Structure 1
Amino acid sequence: MLNTILPILLFAALALTVIGAVRRFSLWRQGRPAEVDWLGGLLKMPRRYLVDLHHVVDRDKYISKTHVATAGGFVLAALLAILVHGFGLHSRILGWALLAATACMFTGALFVAKRRRDPPARLSKGPWMRLPKSLLAFAASFFIATLPVAGILPEGFGGWILAAVLAVGVAWGVSELFLGMTWGGPIKHAFAGALHLAWHRRAERFSTPHNASAARSSGLKALNLHDPKAPLGVEKPADFTWNQLLGFDACVQCGRCESMCPAFAAGQPLNPKKLIQDMVVGLKGGSDAHYFGSPYPGKPVGEHAGGPHLPIVARQGKALVDAETLWSCTTCRACVEECPMMIEHVDAIVDMRRHLTLERGETPNKGAEVLENLIATDNPGGFAPGGRLNWAADLDLPLMKDKGQAEVLFWVGDGAFDMRNQRTLRAFVKVLKAAKVDFAVLGLEERDSGDVARRLGDEATFQQLAKRNIETLSQYRFQTIVSCDPHSFHMLKNEYGDLGGHYQVQHHSTFIETLLSRGSLHLGQHALAEQGATITYHDPCYLGRYNGEYEAPRAVLKALGIAVKEMERSGFRSRCCGGGGGAPITDIPGKQRIPDMRMADIKETGAELVAVGCPQCTLMLEGVVAPRPEIKDIAELVAEAIVEAPVDSKPAAARRPVAEALS
C-alpha cells in the first residue's frame, strides 16, 4: 500500500511546490529590475550558504548545531526519499542512508522542539510553534516506512492500519516542508533564502575561495537623479528592486535583529523584524493581522495593511508602516550584522526615507532645518562657513591651497563647529606635529561630507556636497585622508566612489596605531595607568560594523598602558550611542534614551573613563546626566601621553614616509 501512496504524495507535492515557486517568483518580479549574475549566483550559492551564512548562524552554537542536523538531515532525506519511495529504487544501501538522514533530522527536530517549549521573546510564535511537530512527523514517518527497504523489517509489516498512519504522517510532513517552501509557512525561508544568497543585491559581501573573510559592503547605493523614470526612493513595495523583495521574503523571523536594535530596546516604534515582515505583507497584499512576533513598541498588531502598488507610508488611513518607524532608525547596522539571512534592513529604510524627503518633503522635527542649513552654509548647524578654522587660530595649520600637496590630508569634519569636539581636533593636530607628519587641511574649502543629508534621505543635497568636495580634492595631491569622524571617514572611503571620488582613507585611531608601530610617535605611560585606573572603549558603529575596525583603537589604548575593561556589548555587537542616521535630528520619542542605555553598559564595567573615537558618540554620551564616567577621545588620551622622542631612537633607514607605511 505504501509503495502506491508514497510516490503519489511525493510527486504531487513536488508538482505543487514547482507551481508555488513560479507563483513566488512572480511576486518578487513585481519589483524594479536589478542586474544579477543568474548562473554564477546559483553556482556560488552553496558556498555562501555553508560558509558566509553559517558564519553568522554559528554565533548561537545551540541553534547552529540544531540547524546543521535538522536542515542537513532534511535535504538529504528529501532527496533519498524521492529516489527510494518516489522512483522505487529499493536498494539496501539507499535505505540505510535514508534511515541515517531521517535519524539525524529527527534528532535535530527534538532540539527545535526543546527550544520552542519556552521560546525567547524575540522568536515569532503562531505557525512557527507547529514546525517541530512537522519536522518530527516527516522524519519519523519516512524512517519507519524505510525499515523494510533497509531489510530490517519485512515488506507489508503492520498491515494497512500502519500504512495509513504513515501516509498521514508523510502527508503532514511533506505538506509543511515541501509546499511550505514556496506557498508560505515557517519553512518559506529555505527556498527564498537560498535564492537570496544567490542573487543578493550586495554580492561583494560574500567571501571567495581566495578570500576567507567576506568583504564589507556598507555604503548606500546611489540614486540616479538624472533619469526621469527612476523613482526618487521607494513609495510602494513594487518600487524596491526585485531582489530586495526576495531578500525580505527570506526572513526567518528569528528576531536576532530585534534583540540588537537600539531603537526597539529604547521603546521607539521600530522593530526591524516587524518592518521586514510588513514588507512581505506588502509584497502579496493584506494586513499584519497574522504576524505573531513582537510588535512595534506602542503599536498593536493588526493596524497596518497594504499591497504591492499601494503607498507604504500613507498620509491618512491604514498603511504598511508609519513614518515615525522609519525615522527611529539610527542606521547602526546592528540588525544587518546579526541577520543570518543577510538581509539589508538599513538599505530598505533609507530607500523609504528618500521618498518621504525628496518627494513629499516630510522630514520630521528639525530635519528640514538641518537640510536647509546644509544647502545654505555647507554644515548642518547653519554656522557661518568662514568660522570653520576658528578652533585652530593659534595652531598655524598648513593649508592645502598653499602647499598644493602633502602626504596626509586631515579631514576636519563638522566637529570644527562644536566646542567639545574642537578639543579632539586640537589633540590630533598635536599628535600629527609630534610625529612630524607632512599634513595639511582644506580649511574653508572643506564642506560637510553629506552623511546626515544622505541618511535623512536627501540624496540630492548629498550628491551636491559630495561632488563639490570631490572637485576640491581633485585640485591637490595627497596619499591618505585621515579623519577623527567615522561618519566622514566612511563617506569618503565607501560612498564617494559612485560619484568618482576614490581615496585611501584612514580613521585617526588606525593612523595613530600606524605611527606607533613605525616608531614615529613616542608615548609615556598615561597618568591614568599610573593611578591604576581602568578604561572601557565604545566602538563607533561607523568604524566597527560599517568598516570592520576594532583592533587599532584597542592597540592604541594598550600602548598607553591603561587597563581596558570590555563591555558585554562590544566589538561587532556594540550598542549604538543613538547619534547616527540623523536620529538626534528626527528625535522620535521612546521609553528611554539610547545613550542612557549605553551609559548603563559602561557603568557595568566599573571603568572610570570611556574612550571614544567619534564626535557623535562623544556628544551623545556626554549628554547623559552625571554621575557618569568621563568621556575622552583616543586622540586626547594619546596627546596627553606624548613624550619627546629620543635623538637616536630609530635608525634613519627605518623611518619611512607615513603614507608608504599605510600602503
Structure 2
Amino acid sequence: MDFAAQADVTRETFWTISPVGEALFYGLAAIASLVFLYGVYERFARYAKGGEDPFDRLSDLPGRTVRAAKVVFSNEKQFKRDRFAGVMHAFIMWGFLTLLIGTTILAIDIDVWRRVTGSSFFVGDFYLSYSFVMDLMGLLFVVGVGMALWRRYGVRHPRLWGKHTGFEDAAFVWTLFFLGVGGYVLEGIRIVGTDFPDFETVSFVGYFVALVFDAAGMGQGLAQTLYWFGWWSHALLALAFVAAVPYAKPLHMLTSFANVVTADEKAGTRLPKVPADTPPDEIGYVSEDDFSWKAMLDMDACTKCGRCTDACPAKASGRNLDPRDVILDLKAYRESVDAGGDSIDIVADGGTSVVDAESMESCMACMACMDACPVDIEHLTHFTEMNRRLTETGQQQEPVQEAMMNIFQNGNAFGDPQRKRPDWTDDLDFEVPDARDESVEFLWYVGDYPSYDERNRAVARSLAQIFEEAGVSYGILYEDEGHDGNDVRRVGEEGLYEMLVEDNVDAMADCEFDKIVCTDPHSYNTFKNEYPEMDDSFDYPVYHYTQLVERLVGDDRLGLAGDELAAQTVTYHDPCHLGRYNGEYEAPREVIRATGVELAEMPRNRDQSFCCGGGGGGLWMDHDEESKPSEERLREALDDTTGGVERFVVACPMCATMYEDGRKTGDYEEAIDVVDISELVVEALDAKAAATGTGADTTPASAD
C-alpha cells in the first residue's frame, strides 16, 4: 500500500463536530482533569494527616510495585475462590485499560504528533491494528460489565447487596456499561455515515452494529445527525466519569493498587505493637484520629465486593460480624466526621458506637477475610485495635476476662498451678528430657492444651513417643513454660502479651538449644513471626511439629512402610495458623500419607479451609450462633467429601478441642472420630510393631 493509500485508511476523530464544538470539548476536558487532580490531591492530603503506621510501608518501593503489578494485572486474587468474578474482573480491567491507552494514543496523535510533525501516525496499518485491538478488547470490556450486571441484578448475588450498597454502586456499573456499549453504537453510526469503508471491517463489532443499523433503514444523513448527539452524550459521560473518580466508587482504581503496594506481607501473622508511652485511655481505636494513613487507605480501597463476607466463618455461623461492613462502617464514620459530624465511640458494648463489641468478639482471627480480599485490606489489624479498646475499657466477655486473669496469675488459661504443667509426662514409660538441665537440638514448646486438657494430653504423649522412636534430641521447659500469648494478643490484651513474651524469652535464654518445635500452630505463629519483633535476641528457627515429623519420615527415622493403616479413609483439616497464616499445607499431608491411610480432601481445603471457631479467643467465649463452625466443618467432611471418611484428622490442639465439642453438639459421635496427626503416626508405629513382631509398643500406659 503506497503512502497516499495509507493516508486514506483512517477516520476523522471529530467527525460532524465543529471547531467550536472541538474547543468546547477541550475546555470541558480541562475542567474534568482539574476536578480529578484536585480530588486526588485532597484524598492524599487527608492520608498525610493520618497517624503514622507502625510498619515501614515504603521500603523496597520498586520491589513492592513489581509485586503489586503482578497481583493486580494478573487478577490472581479475583480468580481465587470465585472463577466467574475473576473472568468478569479481568475482562473489565483489561478492556478498560486498553480503551484508556487507546484514547491516550489518539490524544497524542492529535495534540502532539500532528502539531510537531504536521502529519499523523493514525493511518494505514497502524490504524487497522489499532481498530482491531480496540474492538476486541472493548468487546471483552462489554462482556465483563454484562457479567457484572447479571450477577448484581439477574442473580442478585447476596454479597453484592448490603447496608452500604447505594446509588454509587449502580451508577458505577451502569456508567461503564453505557460507555462500552455507547462506543460501539457510535462506531456503527459512523461507519454507516461514511458509507461502509472496506477497511473498517477490521472493526468487526462496530461493523456488525453498522450492518444492523443499515438493515433497520438508517441512511447516511440520519447517521450524521445521530452521530453528533451520540458523540456529545458519550463525551460528556466519559468526562463526568473522569471527574468523579476520586469522589466515588471508581476511586478504588487508584487506591487498590496503592494498597497492594503498601501492604505488609506479614499482616495478621504479626500485629503492631502499642507504643510504650501510650496512656491506657489512648490504646486502640479511641477516635478517628487514631486511624493511620494506611488504615484510611484500607478503607478507601474497599470495593464492596463482599469476598471477605463470603469467606468469614463467623458470618456463615450467624454471628454478628460482616468484615466488609466493619471496614465500610469505619470509612463512613471517618467521612462523616471529616464533613463536620459528631464523634462517637469507635467500638463499645451497647450504646452508640461505630462497631458493636459483639462483632469483634465474633472474630476468630482466622484471616479468611484477608486471604479472600483482592486488594490486601488488613482486617485483622483493625479488629485487634478495636479489641484493645474493649480490653482497656473492661468490655470483653466475662469468660475472656477470666481466662486472662488465669494466664496472668498461673501462666495458663485453665487456672491450674504451673507445677501441674508437666503432669502429662507421668503416664509415659520413659523420661522426657528437661531442656533446663541438658543441651538439646529442639526445645519443644508443648503448649497449654497439650499440658492441661485431658483430650490433648494424649497428643503430647504421642508426639513424645514419636521423638523417642526417631531419636530426636529434644527437651521441654517443664513448669517454666508459660502461655505463648498468641490469642491473648488477638483478644486485645497487649500488656499481658508483652509480659508473656518477656517470661518465655527469659526461660528459653537459660537453656541450650538450636531450634524450637511447637505442638500448637498458634504457638508456632507467634514464636516465628511476633516474638522476634518484640525481642531482637529471639532469633531461633521455629517449626511446627508436622514439619519436623515430615523430615523424620523422609529420613526413614520412623521406619514406616506407608501401608500400616491402609484400611482407613481420613480427611485433614488445615489449621488457620499453620495454613493461611504461614503457608504450610504439604508437611501435614505428607505425614498423613506416610501412615498408609487414604486421604480424601474436603471441598474447602488448604488456604480455603473453614475455621474451627477456636481462634481469636473463641475457645474462651460464648456465642449465640445458628450452628457452630466445628459442626459445619464436620458436616462437610461427612456429606461433601467423597470416599466415605471415617476419621477427621487435625494438627492443632485447639482444633481437636473444638471438633470434639462439635461431635457432641452436632450429634456426630457415632459418625466420625477426631484424631491428631501425631496420634495417627503412633497408631501406624503400633501397627508396624504388631505386624513385624519387633519394636516396643508405643501405646501409653494410661491414655486419656
Q: What is the TM-score with the length of structure 1 in the denominator?
A: 0.85
Aligned partner of 1:522: which letter?
G
221-230 or 27-36: which moved more? 221-230
**Deviation sequence 1:278-332 (CA, Å, 0-9, x none):** 1211221179xxxxxxxxxxxxxxxxx9969542124664321111011100000
Counterpart pick for 1:50 among 48, 66, 70:
70
| Selected match of 1:123 from 132, 136, 160 | 160
1:420 corresponds in structure 2 to: 455
Residue in 1 that maps onto 2:332: 281
Q: Secondary structure at the match of 1:393?
A: helix
Deviations 1:88-124 (A, max 9, x none): 3462336863673365134323233234222421124
- Aligned equivalent of 1:598: 633
- Cα distance change on mapping 1:306 and 1:547 into 2, 3 Å: farther
The answer to whether the Cα contact below 8 Å between 1:17 and 1:179 also exists between their aligned partners in 2 is: yes
Preserved CA contact (<8 Å) 1:56 1:338: yes
Higher helix proportion (structure 1 or 2): 2
How many residue pairs match? The answer is 613
Assess if the C-alpha contact under 8 Å between 2:424 and 2:457 holds in 1: yes
Aligned match for 1:197, one of 219, 235, 260 = 260
1:325-344 alignment, distance < 5 Å: 325-344=359-378
Match of 1:296 in 2: none
- Tell me whether 1:634 sits opposite 2:655 in the alignment: no
Q: Which residue of 2 aligns with 1:100?
A: 133
1:161-560 aligned at under 5 Å gives the runs 161-176=226-241, 178-185=242-249, 187-200=250-263, 202=264, 204=265, 218-228=269-279, 231-285=282-336, 309-314=343-348, 317-358=351-392, 360-395=393-428, 396-403=431-438, 405-415=439-449, 416-500=451-535, 501-524=538-561, 528-529=565-566, 532-560=567-595
Q: After superposing the two structures, state which structure 1 stretch, 439-448 or 64-73, moved more.
A: 64-73
In structure 2, the partner of 1:295 is none
Residues 482/470 of structure 1: CA separation in 2 closer, same or farther (3 Å cut): same
CA drift of 1:526 comes to 6.2
Q: Name the SS of the counterpart of 1:321 in structure 2.
A: strand
Separation in structure 1 between the aligned mates of residue 39 and residue 28 of structure 2, nearest angstrom: 16
User: Cα deviation per residue 1:343-385 (whole Å; 9 max; x = unaligned)?
Assistant: 1111110111011102x12111311111111110011111111
- The counterpart of 1:12, out of the listed 31, 46, 53, is 31
Q: CA deviation at 1:430?
A: 0.4
Matches of 1:330 and 1:307 in 2, distance apart? Answer: 32
CA spacing shift, 1:611–1:45, aligned 2, 3 Å: same
In the other structure, the counterpart of 2:61 is 41
Give the drift of 1:503. 1.8
Rounded to whole Å, the distance in 2 between the matches of 1:536 and 1:103 is 46
Return the alpha-carbon distance in structure 2 between the equivalents of residues 584 and 190 of structure 1. Answer: 40
Matches of 1:166 and 1:25, distance apart in 2:
34
Per-residue CA deviations over 1:153-209 (Å, capped at 9, x if unaligned) read 9x9994454222222223224423x23421112x22111112212223x1x46xxxx
Contact 1:373–1:380 at 8 Å: present in 2 too? yes
Distance in 1 between residues matched to 2:243 and 2:61, nearest whole Å: 24
The Cα of 1:474 is off from its aligned counterpart by 1.4
- Counting only pairs closer than 5 Å after superposition, residues 602-617 of structure 1 correspond to structure 2 as 602-604=637-639, 605=641, 606-617=644-655
- Given the superposition, is the C-alpha separation of residues 39 and 577 from structure 1 closer, same or farther in structure 2, using an over 3 Å criterion? closer
Tell me whether 1:28 sits opposite 2:47 in the alignment: yes
Q: SS at the partner of 1:496?
A: helix
1:61 aligns with 2:83: yes
CA–CA distance in 1 between the matches of 2:425 and 2:593? 29
Q: Distance in 1 between matches of 2:379 and 2:318?
A: 19
Distance between the aligned counterparts of 2:412 and 2:558, measured in 1?
Answer: 33
Whole-Å separation in 2 of the counterparts to 1:50 and 1:7: 35
Distance 1:109 1:480 in 2: 56
Give 3-state SS (helix, strand or coil) of 2:458's partner.
helix
Q: Letter of the aligned partner of 1:219 in structure 2?
A: R
Q: Which amino acid aligns with 2:237?
A: W
Structure 2 residue matching 1:402: 3-state secondary structure: coil
CA 1:79–1:180 in 2, change beyond 3 Å: closer, same or farther? same
Measure the CA separation in 1 of the matches of 2:591 and 2:94.
44
The SS at the match of 2:440 is strand
Deviation at 1:566, TM superposition (A): 0.6
**Cα distance change on mapping 1:478 and 1:46 into 2, 3 Å:** closer
Q: Where do 5+ consecutive residues of structure 1 fail to align?
A: 206-215, 288-304, 650-663
The SS at the match of 1:602 is helix
Shift of residue 390 of structure 1? 0.9
Contact 1:350 1:456 in 2 (8 A): yes
Aligned partner of residue 78 in structure 1, secondary structure? helix
In the alignment, which residue of structure 1 is the partner of 2:4?
Answer: none
Larger Rg, first or second structure (1 or 2): 2
Q: What's the TM-score once normalised by structure 2's chain length?
A: 0.81
Question: Tell me, what secondary structure is at the counterpart of 1:285?
Answer: helix
Contact 2:186 2:230 in 1 (8 A): no
**Structure 2 CA distance for partners of 1:317 and 1:610, relative to 1, 3 Å:** closer
Matched residues in 1 for 2:655 and 2:128: separation?
61
The 1:42–1:112 alpha-carbon spacing in structure 2 relative to 1, beyond 3 Å, is: farther
- Name which of structure 1's ranges 506-515 and 91-100 shifts more when overlaid on structure 2: 91-100
Partner of 2:179: 138
1:590, distance to aligned residue in structure 2 (A): 1.8
Q: Which moved more, 1:15-24 or 1:375-384?
A: 15-24
Residue 657 of structure 1 corresponds to none
1:76 is matched with 98
Inter-partner Cα distance in structure 2 for 1:72 and 1:491: 40
Secondary structure at 2:355 match in 1: coil
Residue identity matched to 2:86? S
